[in-house]
Structure 1
Amino acid sequence: MYRWGLSNFSGSMTRRAISATCALTAGVLGWLAVAPGSHAPAAAVANVADSRSAVQQAADSGAPVEVLQKRTEDSKTLANPDGTFTLEQSAVPVRKKKDGQWVDLDPTLARGQDGLIRPKATAVDMVFSSGGTGPLVVLDSDDRKLKLTWPTALPTPTVQSDSLTYPSVYPGVDLRISVTKESFSEVLIVHTRQAAQLPELQQVQLALDAPGLQMRRTAGGTVEAVDNFGEAVFSAPKPAMWDSSGDGDLQPPSADRTEEPLEGDSVATMPVAVTQNSLTVTPVRSLIDDPATVYPLHVDPPFTGVRVARSMINEHYPTTSSWGWGGDEGVGYQSYEPWSRKRLLFGFSVGQIAGADVQSAVFSAYETWSASCTPKVVEVWKVAKFTDATTWSNGSGSGIWKQKLSYATAAHGRDGCDPGGYWVPFAVPTAVDEVVSAHGSTVYLGMRASSETDELAWKRFRYDVKLSVTYNYPPTIVDPHTKDPYTACVTTSASDPVIGDNTPIPVVSIVDPDTTDDGQHVWADFEMRRAVDQSPFFTYTTAAKKGGSGIYFEPPPEAVAHQPLWSNTTYVWRARAHDGVTTSPWSTGCLFYVDTTKPLAPIITVEPVASSYPMNQPVTIRLSPNGETDLTRYGYAINDDAPGPNSLSLSAASFTTTPSAFGTWSVSAWSYDQAGNQSAQRTTVLRVQGTDPVGRWPMDEGSGVFTADEGSGKHGMNLSPQATWEEGNHGASEGDHSVYLHGLQTSGDTTATAASNIIDTSQNFTVAARVKLDIKSNRQVIVSEDQPGRSSFALGTSEMTWTGRDGSEPEDQSDRWVKWNFTVSTSNGPVTAETDFVNYRAGDWAHVVGVFDRSTRDLKIYVNGIQQQKKEGGTALSTKIPVRTSVVDGTGPFRTGFGIDNSAVNYWFRGLVEDVNIYDGLIGDDAIQALALGNN
């Protein structure tokens, strides 16, 4: 008899077919998945589509909730109230998707409208012949088909529940098909010794058709149909044949010899040959012809599913593999002839939870028979990987049986001790955790009797064992770094970062596959210590947050600032994560070195070396260290006290600047070390040559009745005896002075040059002065040049207003509003440029500039370096006042302190004056701003 199915030989081999006649079995099974399960699944309160919802519902309800999206044909995943998950696997498929919905497997057979016979729902779709010459069976797995066709026309079968029988396919021979949830077997039952001599039974050959699949025979003797990627789609273990000599009392009354041998049946394996178009098995003549053979005889050329990972080894058949056995099988020793000593092997896939932390793992096997009701010990072991070539000879020693994991003292399955059988649990967390932690894919377990010589310890177990694993993915620390300042985590002292702050904040992100927006909460512990210490001086535990991607944890700044770090010291910090179930290991220590010592300012070298530099000509500035060895870069600024974005590397520490204004041009520089510390500022001042003034009077003498011209040196200015000296805008301590003019016509205090007509006011010219106004409201002239009848130009104020008193105390100082003006004399009379009221705070200095541009024929006024505008009717008007006629050149002396109008001296100035400049040309806005800043 030949059998294609999901079993090997048992009892003597398999237990899938035996009856009281001689039979040949042939069974083709879909590939059976290794699918873990649990012996007592927790009741789920709901089925939900995603783990986020399941976690939340489980926490809210206090009961496990199934995660529907993780359901498979042979497993399901439950979210538990404590935040863990439980994976429940069955060794065989228990459900399948049909029309997009999960349905429980049901092997009950029925005829369809096309007359063919099909089970309601099986792991692999199957279609059986209703008689005739068509295929005996068609297997379909994801549109990949395998067909087996009987060599002769088949009679109409009788159908009973999950089996069908084709009577008298040969004289005295029936063909029986048995269907399970995941596979099927076919058995030829040869009822008499005479029938066994039929020529058709000397070698049984079935036609085979597997489009797109390649048929092959493995080293272990199984047959496989593989796809283009070499993956097995269907497989068949070695075929077996057995007689009916065994004792049914050694296993449950429900045992069916037409599916597998009973204990004590004589069993023999058969040669099998496969081509792309046929499968041939040859019965063993010695068993057929043996006078002791009890008929019926069964011959089994099986096909099994590739997902099978179970085997039985039997010392009575030490070189025979019983891969993929079905039904139930024995464990231990029984002495009924032929005697047997058996062990069972199972494999479970756990790759889907690789890396998880296993909280518990329970392997469950359903005991169907016990030799007595006296409980005896059965053990579960961690075993090495086994294959279809594993036998008692090569699979019963310590090379396969690695470690005893658990045991149970039990007796179930017969009258007086749970006659219906019972699930027996075994705790196996060690073996499962070892594989899962190593990101392995399969856990291999074995069952054996504690005593393999005690006949009363004989037991039988069903093949649909289960594995239940409760797990939690441990949280892990990622992206450890510090902030304020930022440094990446460095674990070796040779490259640890140097920071210039003694309160850096350690930061980590926590990744936990179990956490979602509605899932577990996670939090972190931090420790920090000096590298030379063993114990931390700083510890902190953060508050818990709902997990998710990109969630960071850190101590608050005040916690870190409470214990500032020492300079010139190496520190190490680490963190670990919690999710309420598992605590991660401490992260690898992150090192950093604290250096808060500021470096010295760099040395500034100007090339070429000169006492002054022409305007608008480039100058090279070179920076070099001042004895520092740990610098990383330089910063620099022009006419500023902050470096801004200007940066130079040590290897290219030079830059070029082009002074665009005359006077002083400051170059400042800073050094930065590897900790980011900034040095003090170092500044070099360049004297920039520009448009030389005709006269420049800083008025810094501080005494006497004369102030020198430091521009051309030709136009010294005499002071009246009433004028007095006071400090200038930079203070007398800096050598800066000014002249105070009383502004009273009767006192006559003023200044005037000894020479006349020092500039031609009919051409371009610029005049500037720095003043501090004293209380006075009428028009005043700061500087002017004489000509008969009126001044050729005058720079001063038109009008002043103020509030409060004007005194020396701070509370006496008040805001003022000033209109500034600049007047030139033309052939048609004076033309004046005047500002709107400009705010002026009493006691402050103001720098005022008047410009006559002959080319554009207009006047401009600048106050404190800013060109002023005037509004009329809400419209902003430039103070570039047009001069439509010729400007008259003055011929008299250049004066400070009054003007001439209608041939009379008037508009006396009251206040302080200094930094008076006059140019016989135009100077640019940059130069005017430089003058306003005091860069003369």
Structure 2
Amino acid sequence: MGLGVSEWTKLSSDGDKFWKFDEPKGVGRCGIADGYYCSSTGSYTDRMYFEFGPSALAGKHVLDATFRAYETWSFNCTPYWVDLERTDNISEGTRWPGPKMLDQMGDRYVSAGRGDLCSPGQPNSWIEFNDNPDESDENLASTVRSFAAGKMSRLTLMLKAKDESEPRAWKRFDSNAELKVNYLHTPGVPTDVGVTPGTGTKTQCRPSSDPLTVTVLTPTVKARVQTKVEHYQGEEEGSLQAEFVMERSSTDTTSGSWSRVWSDYKPDSGWDPDGTLETAVTDNRADGGLYRLKARTQSHWSYGGKSGDLFSPYSSWCYLRIDSTAPKTPTITAGTPYTKCTATLCEPKGGPSVPGTFTFAPNAADSDVKAYRWRLLTTDADDTKTVNATTTNAPVKVTGVKPGLPGTQTLSVEASDLKFDREGRVRWGPPAEFAFKVALAPGPTGRWRFNDGGPGGLDVAQDTGESGTRHDAVFRNADGTGWSTLARRGAGDFSLRLNDNLTDPAQQVGYASTDGPAVNTQDSFTLSAWVYLSDATANRTVLSAPGEFGSAFTLYYSSAYKKWVFNRTAKDQDPTQGSATYIRSLADTENPPLKAWTHLTGVFDTQGDADKSNDTIQLYVNGRPQGAPTVLATAAPTYTPWTADRNLMIGRTKVAGSYGDYFMGRIDEVALWQEAHEDKQIREEHRLNTNGAPANELVAHWDATISSGTQVSESPEDPDNPASTSFPYNRGGLTLSATGATLGGDDATALNLNGTSGYASRASGPVLDETGSFTVSARARLDKTLLAAKPVGYRAMVAAQAAPGGKESSWSLWVEKVADDGFLWKFGRTALNSAGSITDTAVAPAQEPVGAREWDTWVDVTGVFDATQDFTHTDGTQRFGVSKLYVGPFAQMGEDNPGLAQPQQGSGALSVGRGSARGTTGHYLPGALAKVRIWTGAMTADQVSSQIALPAA
């Protein structure tokens, strides 16, 4: 592979710089020797820099690397030494003496470019630098290997004369330098790792709290081998094997010690390409034994007369218990509306939230089945439900199987004789599986994305709903309404701005409304909106459906409860006949963060019948249900499901015949459906997919590379133009501590931290609603000498948001000293109770210690919290969301449990270079920071690569 430069420059000691020059420039001392001179303007020294981005190389294992530069001139015919050095990164603002030199890459004793002026001739020539095995200080291949592995954000190489005082060593090189790399695909963690429970073909991977029951003594295991990153079309697809490892518990319980009892490689001989599903059968295992299985991918290479193997990290453990006496796989028969997929036909039926009927019956080999448990296997963890048979071995008809999403779903059913296993738990047999396809849900009756205008443009937002009649939303009261570039789908998107640009309360009456009702409020419906609340001193309405006197529903912030609320009015009450009765579904927690994007959903569910006694409302915040559904008739006996016949209101409501409770802030991505959505559909809406990937919005960006004085400044709206409009969210700068923190550097500004007292922070608190999904990333440089002096267990905080009380961090990125010579990057979350005590943590560690090439160089570390993804803890509990860590562009697989059991919101200081943990604030970072960025939304691996790790900025 050839890798071209992405940035390059030449620096001169007289102050000149030549950013991205397009003609040959000099290296060495430009002076006078032997009666000749290289410049008529005086003597100076030149150095040349070439910087490479990792995009084409990311994820590949480098076997060999060669840097080459095209020499076009030498001062005379005598060879002189040219050094190749790795340095810190460059920018257009880099000045002499240039970035810090980090490591020797190689040197060459050469002269070229004088043509027939020399004998023999010395034509222009490529000068190549490749590691000399006899010189231990030449580290090009190992450095490029670390670069490809994401251990540094950019690779910058400098050409310089070894003797910068000798004018005869001066040379010219062109701008077209490149890296030539020989590589193989790094192996990735295998996917689809699991165990076949019996004689079937499907596999499952279960946690220790719920081992898979296997009824044969020789289980079949599977794993799909992977390369670490997807190869490009036409590239070699890797030579891979799967290694399987099985261990048994010494006591056949989860509390026993584990020892290896079986392992195998597949294929038996040779190698398979990326994506091959490998299958192995174990030897005889003991009946009643508790086992666990994991797998990893092995990659084989051969180059330069040598060969070797690389291994991925292992997959997570899959737990199984062999029990030949357990009930066998039950039978599953479909009722309505769903039908079983066959090899040739998988017909969509029903829809999300449409209940299906199924009958479970015992296997013909069983005679004592007393119960069944079932779950839907989807990308999210599902609740498991249990039903008992009326009599032993009787079939059971289940009517409440509600798929949460469209597409092919798999119903998994296990039978039990209600006997107990060795750990005192009810034993369940192996699962039977029934695949069926769920039809698409009806489209929204109204959807307003607010992406169709802009400042100075239209005052109407188009309704892009799919069902019923379209109702565009018209902006009312021009002073208080408009378009905003603070929008949930990121750069180029817009939202509805309401009232927070005005100081006169009499003018704060902006809102938007449709030309008719957008949903029938008498039947089941779901409403959804993203909101950015900027003022909480009064009630603030997001959506409402007015009738003659009041509103059938209102989604709003309550200044009395200090919570988000979704309500219904018991009836359209004439205020002259008495006060209206409000029935509320309230958020679990008070004081939601201001100036932060929050996803709100309200669901009204008639349960599909005309019986108003079972009608419910439910508020969701960031995809999570808030408390139990509120039964309307129980809360208010006068309740009746009445129809609002007026315009849908965005930003105000109607109370006792008058309009008010105007919103202040931003509203975006409003949608309504004429059905009650299931949890999975609501979490899918929270993801806000755009072209198959979740949308994310950059809501904070601090950039030390453009900062000076006593604050780390916000990045301008256009990072390539520091004079452009300031960052639109206007978070303010991060103020430097009184000691230990300075802005400066070898070649460009950075936030330099002494590791004992230096940090920067903003006291005004969080920029996120952390109960939802978010991404935080920092470009950091670690000081190895200072970190090595810290004690084992020391946490050096890169960035952290304080939790309530200030003694812990709601989220933080840090590097931890885990051994005398071992350091790990980590991203974590901490949940607290009302007393400030820790109730849960979710930590995602790096899978490998900080490597030799990661010290004293810039590395991108990124933490992602995905609130839409459930996580099953090893103790069997369901957790709120999943923490993920990326080093460079690569997701890390750690051993810790990355899920929270409850939502957590930070408050107080947001800091870089220090944070709170273990009851104290401090944990100072020795090193430097260039950038800290925060997004609403959980980035995927591809987005981390494209938006953080691989761009030049």
Common topology (TM > 0.5): no
TM-score using structure 1 length: 0.31
